Amino acid sequence: MKKKIMVIEDNPMVVKSLEFKLKKDGYDVVIAEDGRTAMKFLAETTYDLILTDLMLPFVSGNEIIEFLKNEYPTIPIIVLSTSTQEDIITEAFTMGVDDFITKPFSPNELSLRVKRTLSKTIN
Amino acid sequence: MSIESLQGLENWPFILKVNLVLSLFFLVLTLLFIALIVFLRIRKNRKEAYRANFEIALIDFFNHYLFDEDFQRDYELGDFKFNYLKTSYDYKIAIKQVLIFDENLKGESSDAIKELFYGLGLFNFLLNDLKRNAWYKQARALYAFSKLGIRVPDHLVEPLLRAKKPELRQQAMLYSLNTSKENPLGFLDILDNELSLWQQVFIENSLINFDLEVPDFGRWLNHDKSSVVIFCIKMVVSFNQFQNIPHLIDVLDHPDAAVRAQAINSLKLMDVSDSLQLMTANFPYESPTNKRAILYAIDKIGTAKDLRTLVSHISKEEENLQIDYYKIASKFDNGIPVHRLIKPETIKQDWPEFQSYAQRMLQGA
- 3-class SS string, chain B: CCHHHHHHHHHCCHHHHHHHHHHHHHHHHHHHHHHHHHHHHHHHHHHHHHHHHHHHHHHHHHHHHHHCCCCCHHHHHHHHHHHHCCCHHHHHHHHHHHHHHHHHECCHHHHHHHHHHHHCCHHHHHHHHHHCCCHHHHHHHHHHHHHHCCCCCHHHHHHHHHCCCHHHHHHHHHHHHHHCCCCCCCHHHHCCCCCCHHHHHHHHHHHHHCCCCCCCHHHHCCCCCHHHHHHHHHHHHHCCCHHHHHHHHHHCCCCCHHHHHHHHHHHHHCCCHHHHHHHHHHHHHCCHHHHHHHHHHHHHHCCHHHHHCCHHHCCCCCHHHHHHHHHHHCCCCCCCCHHHCCCHHHCCCCCHHHHHHHHHHHHHC
Name the phi and psi angles at A10, rounded to 5: -110, -5
- Which residues in chain A touch residue B67, judged by CB atoms under 8 angstroms apart? 17, 20-21, 24, 107
pLDDT at B348 over 50: no
Q: A29: distance to nearest CA of chain B, Å?
A: 16
Residue in B62, B68, B104 nearest the CB of A103:
B104
Residues 6+ away with beta carbon under 8 Å from A108 = B107, B108, B109
Is the pLDDT at B2 greater than 90? The verdict is no
Question: Please, which pLDDT band fits residue B365 given cuts at 50, 70 and 90?
Answer: very low
- The confidence band for B349, taking pLDDT boundaries of 50, 70 and 90, is very low
Least confident of B62-71, B146-155, B208-217, B277-286: B208-217
Mean pLDDT score, B270-287? 92
- Is pLDDT at B289 greater than 60 in this prediction? yes
The pLDDT value recorded for residue A112 is 93
Band (B168; pLDDT cuts 50, 70, 90)? very high
Residues of chain B found within 8 Å of residue A107, distances taken between Cβ atoms: 66-67, 105, 107, 109
B13 or B30: which leads in pLDDT: B30
Does the pLDDT of residue B341 top 60, yes or no? no
| Model pLDDT, residue A123 | 60
Q: Does A121 touch chain B (CB under 8 A)?
A: no
Task: Report chain B's mean pLDDT, rounded to a whole number.
Answer: 87
Residue B350 is predicted with a pLDDT of: 46
Q: Please compute the mean of the pLDDT values over residues B226-253 and round it to a whole number.
A: 93
- Residue B175 confidence (pLDDT) above 80: yes
Residue B334: predicted pLDDT: 59
**What is the mean pLDDT of the segment spanning B158-180?**
90
- In the predicted model, residues of chain A with pLDDT beneath 70 are 122-123
Query: Measured between CB atoms, which of A12, A20, A105 is closest to B105?
Result: A105
pLDDT for position B362: 56
- Residue with the larger pLDDT of the pair B357 and B243: B243
Categorize the per-residue pLDDT at B331 as very low, low, confident or very high, splitting at 50, 70 and 90: confident
User: Mean pLDDT over residues B255-283, rounded?
Assistant: 93
Taking the Cβ of residue A55 and every Cβ of chain B, the question of whether any pair is shorter than 8 Å is answered with no
Show residues of chain B in contact with A12, CB under 8 Å.
Answer: 59
* pLDDT classification of B338: cutoffs 50, 70, 90: low
What percent of chain B lies above the pLDDT cut of 90?
57
DSSP of A33-72, one letter per residue?
SSHHHHHHHHHHS--SEEEE-SS-SSS-HHHHHHHHHHH-
Q: Which residues pair with B105 in a beta bridge?
A: A105
Residue of A nearest to B58 (CA): A13
Residues A94, A100, A106: CA angle, nearest 5 degrees: 175
What is the predicted pLDDT for the residue at B339?
Answer: 53
Round to whole Å and give the CA distance between A46 and A34.
Answer: 18
Q: Across the interface, which of A20, A24, A109 has its CB nearest the CB of B107?
A: A109
Contact A107/B59, CB-based, under 8 Å? no
Q: Which of B64, B97, B105 sits opposite A104 (nearest CB)?
A: B105
Lowest mean pLDDT among B56-60, B135-139, B153-157, B351-355: B351-355
A26 touches chain B (CB under 8 A): no
CB atoms B105 and A12 under 8 Å: no
Q: Residue B332 — very low, low, confident or very high, per pLDDT cuts 50/70/90?
A: confident
Of A12, A20, A107, the CB nearest to B105: A107
